Amino acid sequence: MSGSVLTTVMNIQDSVFLDIVSRSSSRFELWKKLLNATNAKTIAEVGVWKGDFAKQVLEHCDTIEKYFMIDPWATLPDWNKPFNVDSKTFDDVYAEAMNKTAFASEKCVVLRGRTKDVIQQIPDHSLDFAYIDGDHTLRGIVIDLIKLFPKMKENGLIAGDDFMPNPWQHDIRFEPTLVCPFSIYFAEAMNLPIVALPFNQFLTQKKSDSTFSFQDLTGMYGDVSLNKLFINRETL
């Protein structure tokens, strides 16, 4: 691994960062280790579903003081993705999320709504870490990144799931997943480094004195132009 991009991203040594990445066997493990290494205190998760990620992180990261959980837990008429289940199922999913995180309820702030509708309840410049795992469509990732950015502290980390090299993540009847490449273009617009990580994760950092770079630690994201990404549709 060449260059200092990772040092810039993580404020920890390249070797520590790479060690965490290479020794993690799941996204849960990866983010728990990175959150512990960076002593994250205030966190937001966009898209909580049954609370599996929140449970893992809250159980293993003792420095966390506040955890914003953003999710409508409701059937959305204009979200064409498989996780958009019926309202009875969503009520059960919400109950499961609350049960799984009940042990840390004093740290959790539940914001039941879409990112755009609840984000004003998070103070500006307050987040050490945001994990984007909600809508995933082009509309969703645009809104999530733009709305979360002012909420981040300087040096705060923005990460996300479903950074797919193939936008046709599901059956082609569903809206494509465009976390990749939009996150890369967002980082370019804001002069930020962004890193592609294993398990379809990405990581960028709010830094006022930074420059744009895209570093792919997986080798999966060669040409991210939509022309190339969408060609895979023909093979589905």
Ligand X SMILES: C[S@@+](CC[C@H](N)C(=O)[O-])C[C@H]1O[C@@H](n2cnc3c(N)ncnc32)[C@H](O)[C@@H]1O
Q: How far apart are CA 55 and CA 99, in angstroms?
A: 10
Residue 203 pairs in a beta bridge with: 159, 195
CB of 214 to ligand X, least distance (A): 24
Q: What dihedral do alpha carbons 8, 11, 12, 13 form, nearest 10°?
A: 30
CB of 46 to ligand X, least distance (A): 5
Q: Is 182 in the site for ligand X (CB under 6 A)?
A: no
Q: How far apart are CA 112 and CA 73, in angstroms?
A: 7
Binding mask 65-104 for ligand X (x = CB under 6 A): -----xxxx-----x---x---------------------
Site residue total, ligand X (CB under 6 A)? 19
Q: Which stretch binds ligand X (CB under 6 A): 60-68, 129-137, 199-207, 222-230?
A: 129-137
Nearer Cβ to ligand X, position 47 or 156?
47
Query: Which of the residues 26 through 55 are near ligand X (CB under 6 A)?
Result: 45-49, 52-53
Tokens of 53: 């990620």
Q: Is 134 in the site for ligand X (CB under 6 A)?
A: yes
CB of 8 to ligand X, least distance (A): 27
Residue of 140, 176, 181, 193 that binds ligand X (CB under 6 A):
140
Q: Is 135 in the site for ligand X (CB under 6 A)?
A: yes
Q: Is 175 in the site for ligand X (CB under 6 A)?
A: no
Asked whether 165 and 229 are in contact (CB, 8 A), the reply is yes
| Amino acid letter for position 234 | E
CB of 134 to ligand X, least distance (A): 3
Nearer Cβ to ligand X, position 48 or 184?
48
* Local structure of residue 101 (DSSP, 8 states): H
Per-residue exposure over 175-203, b if at least 16 CB sit within 10 Å of its own CB, e if not: bbbbbbbbbbbbbeebebbbbbbebbbbb
| Amino acid letter for position 4 | S
Q: How far apart are CA 80 and CA 88, in angstroms?
A: 18
Binding site for ligand X (CB under 6 A): 45-49, 52-53, 70-73, 79, 83, 114-115, 133-135, 140
